[in-house]
Amino acid sequence: MATNEADLAPSINPENHGPKIIIVGGIMLAATILMIVIAGFNRFHAKTTHHKDIPMLLLGAATDIGCFAVVAVAVSHGFGKRVFELDRPTRHMLLFFASHGIVKLSYNLLARRTGRSKKYQHVMDGFSVIIGLWMLANIIVIAVALRRTQSPHRSFFYASGSISIAIVLGQLLAFLWIIWRTKAPVKVKIRWSMSMGAFVPLCVAVIITRLAYTPKDYLSGDWTFNDVVSAVLFQIELNIMTMTVLAPNLPVFFQRASTGGVYFLPGEATNQSRRATDVSQELSLKLNQLRWSGKGEAAVYDGNLPHTTLTSTVSGTGNNGLTKKPSFDSDVILMQRSIEVGSEPNPDPAVVPSEPCE
């Protein structure tokens, strides 16, 4: 019985480094799940769960969890030991590239719906195609290598990692391009940019570090023992990529938590909704008065709400120029509505650009 318990719960020793993967992967996965809960909470109250990036994000999170589960099972059967002691082959690499690609697609869909410029959308569609091909190529190469127990050339991993970095940076640059074309205060643009790019430098750094630690005999020889560091970095990279998509939800959640805007009881939700409606109407009225003030100057939303500590945005105007729908979504939704005004028939009065997007 003692032997079986030791097999189920291996410990770190000079001949077995596998548990390191479970420890690091478990911590990263816990942080990712917490951010997913926060994002779901924000989207639920904003009633924006119908967007295409939401199911993609959930699918990416599910494959993320599946990847960790496969690695945990592999460790319990000897991954991290010498290769001849491994009871069964591991397939965690296939799930890693599948999850990584799905999370990239989620980030791409989230960024795509923030702007309605045709040029911008074509660029993001191109990224979606590149991500799909990148994911498919990685899965095929790794599957063949696992079947033949032969290591792919290191140039494959370098090329794959370089393409991954190029995709992440390209998505961010395209997103920043559409943000800085809007008419809004610089501090608001900076906040939007930091929300979407907060984890990108860290993600790039982890990819570079993983490539530096990729052994020459990966998937061949005694790779299950020699590649523990690379496997740990794989887990970190995967979870950070997921956090990159979820990062914009954190600032607004912390703001609500510090100002009493986070609520869980139905009665509190009703009261907060009434307050948000009143605030939205007041803000819309003031902005419309400013917008049509004699000189005809465009009103620019500075990101601050009048006389309130609750985060809400303007969703549109009716016949009387007053808003009726409060929003509890994160800055991403405000950013989306601000950027889309170039093609909306009734522009959001919160941001009126001097010239429409191309």
Which of 130, 74, 65 lies closest to 96, judged by CA? 65
- Give the domains, in start order, of the chain with CATH numbers: 2-254 (1.20.1070), 266-342 (no CATH)
What is the DSSP-derived secondary structure letter of residue 16? B
pTM over 0.85: no
Q: pLDDT of 252-309, one tens digit each?
A: 666 666 655 554 434 444 445 555 555 555 555 555 554 444 443 333 444 444 433 3
Helix-, strand-, coil-residue percentages of the chain, each rounded to 5: 65, 0, 30
Q: pLDDT of 30-80, one tens digit each?
A: 887 887 777 776 666 555 545 666 676 677 677 777 777 777 776 766 665
> What is the secondary structure of 240-309 as a DSSP string?
HHHHHHHTTHHHHHHHHHHHT----SHHHHHHHHHHHHHHHHHHHHHHHHHHTSTTTPPPB--S--TT--
CB 184 within 8 A of CB 338: yes
CB 21 within 8 A of CB 10: no
